[in-house]
């Protein structure tokens, strides 16, 4: 059980680009990274496009004023000159800027942690992957829900044959917020997400479904999509040409089929992500609104509810436990788990410990690249009229 | 509130074809029809392909021995000669026999109530529809779940604009029973369902999804499918060429989209049917495993749970109420509601009361025909490789 | 699995006292008794204090006009003179009349089925018990919720040691209907329940908690209350001196403790009855609003949900199954199960088959007497200031 | 919405007594206090009865080695000599030690945050209250679940009359862990809790129900208990004379009644705390296993589920929001909220800002004293044979 004690040689010196006062996601990064102050220390930042506001904010969360920078270029340059300069930077800016900042960070010899969807194209992702390898750096992607422990329980149970052969993968990430013409425009944190120039080739496919798609890969590492079909719509007119609703059908290499429903027009829905894996003997189901419960339905037997923190769970799941049974964990623990694994990966990379790296399960550059590929294939299918396309 | 008092001129003299001791569905018909003994009286039957067993069974449920017939042909002929001969017959036999028995019944001047899926082709359904019109008879179809009162609540609320414009129709009828090679073959009531000669061109699409599709039409009478795409699989090998899993995407004439998941390989799933209707303002969701609850989720407001029998429900819903608040109703009430409407329709038809007929909402020949059309279109799409087809 | 076939020598000729058009409970009796028309036939009745309305009603549910009587005395006298006279009568009248009608029925050599709470005093119940024995007749009590199959599953699992030693019995029957000064008075079916002259010495203790108390005895036949303490209140002033809320603490002879909360002021509560039995190894929990689900929580293991109709349930539970898996049963099946057992008991009694009688589990005169005793002890405790009293 | 920015003049210098590697609660304190590093900084500690282990632990969570002390006496003395000495200390040691450490801390001019149950007697609590007043210091009590935001929503809604007059208060804190003779003894974190010398006069009443009792006071600040009755048992023999199960009945000064069930033998129960407040118009219900949902049941209307972070919630509730809608919060946010209020109280106290102090709702010395009083009264009633006692 995790109790906050240091697990790596020393806390990493960490900075953020973006994630300032006006957005919501920056706080999640800090909550995750700084959970125990033994994996990361926040020492610098270029928190805001408005440099003054960014500095005011940085100081107010305890960053030394002289390390609150006006932009990421300056930060990377200045920090490179310090003996105690930053080791790693998190990028929590709108999608269109991810690629340039990632590239600059790697070129400045920094490890990188970046928001999803990583980039606009797989070419960009492939380039960054190669650059990271060349530089010997880690690129982590903040699929922030993927740190929920029970996902590892699902992975372990499926690996152990507890549900038999996987037949159907049923994925959902939907909600109904901002689903009016004015909805997006009134909300600064939302507005850019429906602007193709900033958001890229998709809205909900990139913004929402990449999370769930990654989580499905985490649970089902042995399965690959062979072809898919994506049907997308823009119900709120002002979001066109970007979709606010999409249904995807998938065929996997092992004969399984899958569906993804992603939407920001699912009015009133407060259970954003639902993942159901159907096997030949049993099914597993998990919802992100009740992250402490995992439903295990064996055909012909009573349905079971597995609860986080219980000794009957797999060791790979309980390894991330913090609060103990009867004590609800939430999204902040999920982020903390991911950031702790980023730290472990960075530490291992720096020490050249490939064995540790190989065994770490976390959203790395491949996960980021795969998310971009997912969006690309969905968009390609949709744009041809919702036809089947090979997953390339 | 219904209390069993007679609502029509006299109870109808009723017979069954099939529905004997070895199947499960016959008891549901009797439970529905005979709920209060004021709408139907069971006076005759050809209950079983095994005539002796059928007679023994008939006597044991109170049918006079001389009106327990060895086959439907004999029954229709003999009953026609009685002054107190049957008015109406229910057909609860395997799919392949529905058409011939329906035709014979109408030709014998009987009203007909028939199991779903009604027939194998829309041509057959069209023919029977015309024959029924010519004969002045009712043909009802036992979509047995469609009598749940809260479906009428959904219909009323959508009609009243309580969810805004319908955007997404999310349908599901799945379970995991018999999902092994031996599963179907060991079970007599199941075996014929996966034999194309008896079951027709589909397994779960016809056996399961026709129910849910009809219920969606009951809820959304103003919406028509324009095109659909159906992807189907046979996970249990012995079921091929019939599917045991299918995903359907639909486009409606009002711009809404829909999905149907129907399956008999959804291992461990005990919530067979789920219906979610997403509108521009709110959503409605209902599960047949908890038929007394309706979820109403208005975007930006607390989610509501409407409970059967409460005064706040629409009058069209509460009209079918029997047991009162705090008293769970189940599938037997759903069947009773449908059969009561069949009786009302037959009574009105016999009286020439077209006004009453026009206002009765129940699964009639058009609903049966539409179910056959649904299966035909799904199969047509699937057989071309899961492509989009116009809904014809 | 029950399919409606006759299980006894012939359907019993059955009459009702009360249960006419203006109340709600009569329909439940008829729904239960006439479920399959093979256990009971409704042939006579004195349905209403208003004789004309009663006759009109009787004819309208199919009773011959000349057997619709103006009062029970006449009915018992006239039916005694018929060769096909009634075998058994159900009493569905306000509490204050139960004793006289029961006595008259037994004296007329009829089997009796009576509403709860049976009588006002244990002396009355004891007298009727002796009279029934003398007459060789059955007295059944309509604890109408006690026919839910999963209660027998609880009984079997506890008998089999599946929860270990019982430690806590947690009972609840609460709702919030009519909980205003005007609430009871506006509602004819409710009004008499808060009038001590008609209802007896209690309101919710008798009207509600006797159900749940009987169900706890059905589940835990080996446990007896040794002492209890009852604290009762009249929150709605016009109900005083009768209580509309009570909490009872119980000590059992095996060292277990228990609680009962019964109330008609639990505003908004739609899950009327909840029963939780805590053992040294596991707990069982069942709610009457979701009667098809039984929760089985083993300490240190995943929680299980057992679902009605599944093969893994105990044979004693599945014996009452009618509709099959995935098909919700409700309160009407519970009543049907009880009435079917009344029929079996009467049939066995008439045949002198004591072996069958001994093995039948149903709410008999002892169950009725025990319910009266429960109320008496609760009231005695409450009236002394909510003190502990020995259960006498 | 909280985003981690500093809300007080400077982060407080904070130390812990206890809370080291072998217990579970220390991590919760650190998780709460250090959430954003802008309210508290952990600078010293006497973390363990085993001084070496305590030092090793302290260093490993980032405390300077020379400020990892062997015992609290040394720590208070040494820190008093530092210019940057600690401002506040948290006490996370077994119950029997709370009083001495609290007293010493106040005498060393420190603010204090202490685990519950605060002390063994109300006299002790009264003494500490007076000492704190004299010293001008804050004493906070870590009722760690009481920071869940929806409790403030309940408080606000009841204050606003949304449920009418409160009639019934239904409280529960139960679980089934360690409920065997060996259960407690094998578990170091559990063992002392059933030893009267260390735990005090009660086990579950003090260890569990003081939480829920405080939360009920937070929700219902206007209501006082007038008398209560407590019935307690020791089902696991080795726990005697301390109880592992208790039922309490309460009468409040406004005519309401209440119940508390607290237990560590509720086998399999994973929903530890449940709070239901019944009013004359509606009820509110909240469970700590699903802390993001609040059930609002208005009699005669659809039941509502209010979800954390939604704009329709009261401002007093949303003020503590951190992660935003669709993002599950858990127990760590609850602790963070409480610690943030401790910081605000300390900051206000130090600044002499009585206005702020008066408006802060958090578990202060009065809440701690009230918890001790609750246990005292329960034990007094139980020890006299579960009789009614005036709440003194």
Q: Give the Cα separation of D342 and D361 in Å (integer).
A: 10
Radius of gyration from C-alpha coordinates of chain D: 21
Confidence of residue B190 (pLDDT cuts 50, 70, 90): confident
pLDDT at C106 over 80: yes
- Neighbours of A, requiring at least 3 CB pairs below 8 Å, are B, C, D
Q: What is the mean pLDDT of residues B298-325?
A: 97
Is some CB atom of chain A closer than 8 A to the CB atom of D384?
no
Q: Which residue is it, tokens 């400077």?
A: D10
pLDDT at B185: 78
Q: Which tens digits make up the pLDDT trace of A20-71?
A: 999 889 999 999 999 999 999 999 999 999 999 999 999 999 999 999 999 9
Task: Look at residue D173 and give its three-state secondary structure.
Answer: strand
Q: Which tens digits make up the pLDDT trace of A197-228?
A: 998 999 999 999 999 999 999 999 999 999 99
What share of chain B in percent tops pLDDT 90? 93
pLDDT at A366 over 80: yes
* Residue A144 DSSP symbol: G
Closest by Cβ to A330, choosing from D24, D35, D329: D329
pLDDT at D94 over 90: yes
Contact A259 B259 (CB under 8 A): yes
Q: Which tens digits make up the pLDDT trace of A301-342?
A: 999 999 999 999 999 999 999 999 999 999 999 999 999 999
Q: Give the Cα separation of A99 and A104 in Å (integer).
A: 9
Q: Which tens digits make up the pLDDT trace of A247-290?
A: 999 999 999 999 999 999 999 999 999 999 999 999 999 999 99
Q: What is the pTM of this model?
A: 0.97
pLDDT at A181 over 90: no
Q: What is the mean pLDDT of residues A11-19?
A: 98
pLDDT at C290 over 90: yes
Contact A267 B257 (CB under 8 A): no
Task: Look at residue A168 and give its three-state secondary structure.
Answer: strand
What is the crossing angle of helices A72-80 and A98-107, to 10°?
10
pLDDT at B335: 98
Q: Which tens digits make up the pLDDT trace of C112-148?
A: 999 999 999 999 999 999 999 999 999 999 999 999 9
Q: Which tens digits make up the pLDDT trace of B128-183?
A: 999 999 999 999 999 999 999 999 999 999 999 999 999 999 999 999 998 887 77
Name which of A173, A276, A32, B304 is nearest D307 in CA terms: B304
Confidence of residue D137 (pLDDT cuts 50, 70, 90): very high
Q: Give the Cα separation of A387 and D6 in Å (integer).
A: 53
| Mean pLDDT score across all residues of chain C | 96
Confidence of residue D163 (pLDDT cuts 50, 70, 90): very high
pLDDT at C189: 75
Measured from the Cβ of residue C83, the count of other Cβ atoms closer than 10 Å reads 4
pLDDT at D178: 86
pLDDT at A102 over 90: yes
Is some CB atom of chain B closer than 8 A to the CB atom of C28?
yes
Contact A268 B282 (CB under 8 A): yes
Q: What is the mean pLDDT of residues A348-365?
A: 97
Is some CB atom of chain D closer than 8 A to the CB atom of B325?
no
pLDDT at A191 over 90: no
pLDDT at D188: 76
User: In order of start, what are the domains of chain A with their CATH numbers?
Assistant: 12-145+340-365 (3.40.50.720)
Q: What is the mean pLDDT of residues B217-239?
A: 97
pLDDT at C354 over 80: yes
Is some CB atom of chain A closer than 8 A to the CB atom of C60?
no
Residue B219 phi, psi (nearest 5): -75, -35
> Which chain A residues contact residue D24 at CB under 8 A?
1, 324
Q: Which tens digits make up the pLDDT trace of C164-204?
A: 999 999 999 999 998 887 777 777 778 888 899 998 999 99
pLDDT at C386: 98
Q: Give the Cα separation of A238 and A247 in Å (integer).
A: 20
pLDDT at A346 over 90: yes
Q: Which tens digits make up the pLDDT trace of D347-360?
A: 999 999 999 999 99
pLDDT at A165: 97
Before B117, cis peptide (omega within 30)? Answer: yes
- Neighbours of B, requiring at least 3 CB pairs below 8 Å, are A, C, D
Question: Which CA distances in Å does A144 have to A29, A347, C74?
Answer: 9, 20, 78
Closest by Cβ to C57, choosing from B5, B27, B332: B5
B247 compared with D24, residue with greater pLDDT: B247
Is some CB atom of chain D closer than 8 A to the CB atom of C50?
no
pLDDT at B285 over 80: yes
Residue D253 phi, psi (nearest 5): -70, -15
pLDDT at D23 over 90: no
Q: What is the mean pLDDT of residues A161-183?
A: 92
> Which chain A residues contact residue C296 at CB under 8 A?
302
Give the residues across from B287 on adjacent strands.
B274
Name which of A70, A74, A135 is nearest A107 in CA terms: A135
Q: Give the Cα separation of C114 and C92 in Å (integer).
A: 7
Q: What is the mean pLDDT of residues B293-316?
A: 98
pLDDT at B23: 87
Is some CB atom of chain D closer than 8 A to the CB atom of B301?
yes
Q: Give the Cα separation of A187 and A199 in Å (integer).
A: 15
| Mean pLDDT score across all residues of chain B | 96
Contact A257 B249 (CB under 8 A): no
pLDDT at A190: 80
pLDDT at A345: 98
């Amino acid at each position: 059980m995790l109790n906050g004690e240091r697990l790596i040689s020393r806390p990493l010196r960490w900075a953020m680009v973006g994630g300032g006062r006006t957005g919501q996601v920056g706080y999640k990064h800090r909550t995750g990274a700084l959970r125990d102050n033994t994996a990361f220390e926040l020492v610098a930042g270029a928190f805001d496009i408005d440099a003054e506001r960014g500095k005011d904010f940085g100081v107010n969360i305890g960053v030394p004023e002289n390390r609150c920078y006006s932009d990421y270029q300056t930060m990377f340059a200045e920090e490179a000159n310090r003996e105690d300069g930053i080791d790693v930077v998190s990028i929590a800016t709108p999608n269109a800027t991810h690629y340039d900042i990632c590239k600059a960070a790697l070129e400045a010899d920094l490890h990188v942690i970046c928001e999803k969807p990583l980039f606009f194209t797989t070419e960009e992702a492939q380039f960054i992957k190669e650059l990271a390898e060349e530089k010997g750096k880690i690129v982590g992607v903040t699929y922030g829900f993927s740190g929920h422990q029970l996902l590892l329980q699902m992975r372990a149970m499926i690996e152990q044959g507890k549900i038999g052969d996987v037949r159907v993968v049923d994925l959902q990430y939907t909600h109904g917020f901002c689903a009016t013409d004015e909805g997006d425009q009134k909300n600064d944190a939302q507005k850019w997400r429906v602007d193709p120039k900033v958001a890229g080739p998709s809205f909900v496919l990139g913004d929402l479904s990449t999370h769930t798609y990654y989580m499905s890969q985490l649970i089902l590492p042995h399965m690959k999509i062979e072809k898919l079909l994506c049907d997308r719509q823009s119900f709120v007119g002002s979001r066109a040409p970007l979709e606010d609703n999409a249904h995807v059908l998938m065929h996997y290499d092992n004969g399984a089929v899958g569906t993804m429903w992603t939407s920001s027009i699912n009015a009133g829905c407060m259970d954003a992500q639902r993942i159901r894996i159907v096997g030949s003997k049993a099914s597993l189901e998990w919802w992100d609104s009740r992250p402490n419960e995992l439903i295990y339905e064996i055909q012909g037997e009573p349905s079971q509810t597995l609860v986080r923190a219980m000794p009957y769970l797999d060791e790979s799941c309980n390894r991330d436990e913090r609060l103990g049974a009867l004590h609800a964990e939430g999204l902040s623990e999920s982020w903390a788990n991911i950031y702790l694994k980023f730290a472990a990966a960075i530490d291992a990379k720096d020490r050249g410990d490939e064995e540790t790296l190989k065994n770490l399960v976390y959203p790395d550059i491949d996960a980021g690249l795969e998310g971009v590929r997912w969006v690309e294939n969905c968009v390609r299918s949709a744009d041809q009229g919702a036809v089947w396309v090979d997953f390339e």
